[in-house]
Amino acid sequence: MQKFSGKTVYRGIAMGPAVVLKKADEQVKRTGIVDAEAEIARVHKSLEQSKEQLQQLYEKAAAEVGEAHAAVFEAHQMMLEDEDFLEAIYSMIRSEMVNGEYAAATIGEKFAQIFADMEDDYMRARAADVRDITNRLIRNLSGSQQTDLHAAQPSVIVAEDLSPSETVQMNKEKILAFVTVHGSTNSHTAILARMMNIPALVGVPLDLEKIKDGMQVIADGITGEVIVEPTAAQALEAEKKIADEREKARLLLELKGKENVTHDGKHIQVFANIGGVGDVRYVLENDAGGIGLFRSEFLYLGRNDLPTEEEQFQAYRHVLQAMGDKKVIIRTLDIGADKKADYLHLGQEENPALGYRAIRICLTQTDVFKTQLRALLRASMYGNLSVMYPMIISVDEVRKILDIVYEVKKELDAEGVSYKMPEQGIMIETPAAVMICDELAELVDFFSIGTNDLTQYTLAIDRQNEKLDNFYDPHHPAVLKMIRMIAEGAHRCGKWVGICGELGADLELTETFIKMGIDELSVSPSMVLPLRKRIREL
Ligand code: PEP
Ligand code: MG
């Protein structure tokens, strides 16, 4: 038995077998071999295994999300049959007498680089495919079982760190909890864990070399502890806590259908945040009044090219239809900083949180922005859509956005495509936007306060930096004063204002927010009912 302390990202408790995720490049060490043909046979076997896995993934994806989305797995199978690629690996094994993992990693990177240097955007994006298949091959060669979480039983995922794009690709049904050695409680990976309703701890000082797949792990987000190979008594206690938590959740369900109203009759809207189409289920299960933040950028992560207008339209339409006449606020692409997509070629930056992200990308790569706006406007016919724009710092930006929206409307009009003009709002998440919120309020229909970034930029603390978690204080008087200023600014202009950052779910502040006149709080689906309970107690 070993016990470790970490930082809780999502309060909840789970127990189950570990699946240790190791990054492929951590496993690639150059070692000498004596029998090249035997090594090539080993590569060959892993190739077959990789192709079989891809076939299974293809079938699963085709059944769940349709053949168009599954096609990538078919393409990967074909790439694994490419003779130039395989011959280059075999020839390196023979000439340098090195292990298959190393040869595959070296050749894979060489091929990926050839694609990455091409002129054509489509061909450039294939670099990520080459890296993907190479990593799969290496994982199979080194016997790591991480590839197919799809096939594993529900498990506690243990990793050094997880990126948002890795997290977004995981099959939620198979994850009992996340435990990572690094990571900040304010990162998007943490936010995803909260949205997925999954107990999660970061900053847990585990030695991943010592944890083997299948070892029993208790991830206790209530105490902030992780126990590896618990004693029988500890396992029994964990089972009891899990049952208690289930009972608490069951009691909360009794609040479904009830109003979000205080004893003295103040109403507030309680909405939910989502990261993908699949999350709508949790919104409905928890009886949220609407969707206050759909982080659309997650549609752009974990893939090798931009989602097309049609793909986006289908995703937005699905969410809108599932929500009926309830409001759905879709935020336009907020990629960059920790949310990376290789195909957008965002490059390395000294200060990514202060860098090329969100609306800055959309106002530069207007074709990417317009594609999303077309998909959004087309989908507006299927429900109660609002659109909001992230990371605003100036009136000029909002004017530019509105001009682009106008152009897109004209295009659709000319094509005879129908749409219902959605409400348009902006996120207030920079101190600059706070200071000019009166002018901004004139231009838009609503504000949604992004307290995660607002705290980061107000306190000059990188929300990704795990060393600063103790300094990142969203209760700082400067942050609370800004929230009050935003609420007053919006109301002076007759506009409504919500909070969609994580602070909206902070039950210690619910009363303060209601007193400030905040009209809507949008929280992770699992916090909707606890928040309703809190409001009804006030
Ligand atoms: C925020 O900054 O508070 C927010 C809601 O957006 P994100 O966390 O996605 O940056
Ligand atoms: Mg933000």
pLDDT of residue 204: 95
Structure token digits, residue 135: 């990593």
The helix/strand/coil state of 378 is helix
Which DSSP category does 32 fall into? B
CA distances from 457 to 231, 269, 479 (A): 45, 27, 10
Q: Do residues 460 and 512 both lie within one domain? A: yes
**421 is a domain residue:** yes
The rounded Å distance from CA 244 to ligand 2 centre is 34
Minimal-distance CA residue to ligand 1 atom 10: 453
Please tell me whether residues 192 and 156 are part of one structural domain.
Answer: yes
Q: Establish whether residue 451 lines the binding site of ligand 1, counting it when its CB lies within 6 angstroms of any ligand atom.
A: yes
Atom of ligand 1 nearest to the CA of 450: 3
Q: The CATH number of the domain where 497 resides is what?
A: 3.20.20.60
Which whole number is the average pLDDT over 180-191? 86
Rounded-to-integer distance, Cα 465 and Cα 147, Å: 28
Tell me the CA–centroid distance for residue 463 and ligand 1, in Å: 10
Residue with tokens 């893939």: 303
Q: Is the CB of 452 under 6 A from ligand 1?
A: yes
Predicted confidence (pLDDT) at residue 356 exceeds the cutoff of 90: yes
Residue 152 pLDDT grade (very low, low, confident, very high; cuts 50, 70, 90) = low
How many domains, the chain? 3
Residue 227 maps to a domain: yes
Shared-domain flag, residues 310 and 422: yes
- The pLDDT value recorded for residue 480 is 98
| Atom nearest to 453 CA in ligand 1 | 2
**332 CB less than 6 Å from ligand 1?**
no
How high is the pLDDT of residue 165?
A: 66
pLDDT tens-digit map of 165-185: 677 777 778 899 999 999 888
- Does residue 527 carry a pLDDT above 60? yes
Q: How many CB atoms lie within 10 A of CB 81?
A: 10
Q: Kindly report the pTM of this predicted structure.
A: 0.77
Query: Which tokens hold the place of 523?
Result: 């929280």
In order of 7, 158, 228, the CA distances from 1 in angstroms are 20, 16, 6
State CA 469 to chain mean position distance. 20
Strand 327-331 relative to strand 290-295: parallel, antiparallel, unpaired? parallel
435 plus 480 within the same structural domain: yes
Instruction: Output the residue whose Cα is nearest ligand 1's atom 3.
Output: 450
Residue to substitute in 184, 273, 294, 295 for testing ligand 1 pocket (most ligand atoms within 8 angstroms of CB):
295
As given in the structure block, the two tokens for residue 341 are 């997509």
**Separation of CA 78 and ligand 1 centre (Å):** 39
Specify if 259 maps to a domain.
Answer: no
Query: Would residue 29 count as lying in a domain?
Result: no
What is the structure's pLDDT at 97? Answer: 93
Residue 347 lies in a domain: yes
Q: Which domain holds residue 216?
A: 2-23+148-245
How many other β-carbons are positioned within 10 Å of the β-carbon of residue 387?
26
Tens digits of residue pLDDT in 4-33: 999 999 989 999 999 998 765 566 788 899
User: What's the CA gap between 108 and 134, in Å, rounded?
Assistant: 6
Residue 365 included in any domain: yes
Instruction: Return the higher-pLDDT residue of 59 and 269.
Output: 269
Query: Is ligand 1 within 6 A of the CB of residue 279?
Result: no
Residue 53 domain-assigned?
yes
Which of 107, 142, 177 is the C-terminal boundary of a domain? 142
Same domain, 163 and 135: no
- Which H helix or E strand runs over 446? strand 446-449
- For residue 136 and ligand 1, the question of a CB distance below 6 A is answered with no
207 Cβ contact list (under 8 Å, min separation 6): none
The yes-or-no verdict on residue 437 having pLDDT over 90 is yes
> Is residue 97 domain-shared with residue 211, that is, in the same domain?
no
Residues designated as active site: 188, 500
Task: Judge if the beta carbon of residue 334 lies within 6 A of ligand 1.
Answer: yes
* Candidate from 453, 455, 472, 482 with most ligand 1 atoms within 8 A of CB, to mutate: 453
Stretch among 162-171, 298-307, 365-374, 411-420 having the lowest mean pLDDT = 162-171
437 shares a domain with 396: yes
pLDDT at 188: 81
Task: For Cα atoms 271, 193, 467, give the angle at the middle one, nearest 5 degrees.
Answer: 115
Shared-domain flag, residues 213 and 229: yes
- Supply the pLDDT for residue 53: 85
- Domain harbouring 213, CATH code: 3.50.30.10
129 or 102: which leads in pLDDT: 102
Q: Ligand 2 centre and the CA of 422: distance in Å?
A: 21
* Residue 238, ligand 1, Cβ within 6 A: no
Shared domain check, 362 and 461: yes
In a domain, 262, yes or no: no
The residue ranking higher by pLDDT, 143 or 201, is 201
Least confident of 39-53, 106-120, 197-211: 106-120
Ligand nearest to the CA of 195: 1
The whole-number average pLDDT for the span 61-75 is 72
What is the overall mean pLDDT for the chain? 91
Is residue 260 over pLDDT 70? yes
* Amino acid type, 532: R
At residue 501's C-alpha, the angle toward residues 309 and 314, to 5°, is 20
Q: Which one of 93, 112, 142 terminates a domain?
A: 142
List, in sequence order, the alpha helices (H) in 365-445: 366-379, 395-415, 431-435, 437-443
**Cβ of 501 below 6 Å from ligand 1:** yes
Mean pLDDT of 86-90: 94
- Domain limit, last residue, from 204, 229, 245: 245
Q: Domain check: are 138 and 157 in the same one?
A: no
Instruction: Tell me, yes or no, whether 232 and 217 share the same domain.
Output: yes
Which ligand is closest to the CA of 273, given by its number? 1
Ligand 1 centre to CA of 289 (Å) is: 20
What pLDDT band is residue 147 in, cutting at 50, 70 and 90?
A: very low
How many helices and strands (H and E) does the chain possess?
20, 16
**401 lies in the same domain as 496:** yes
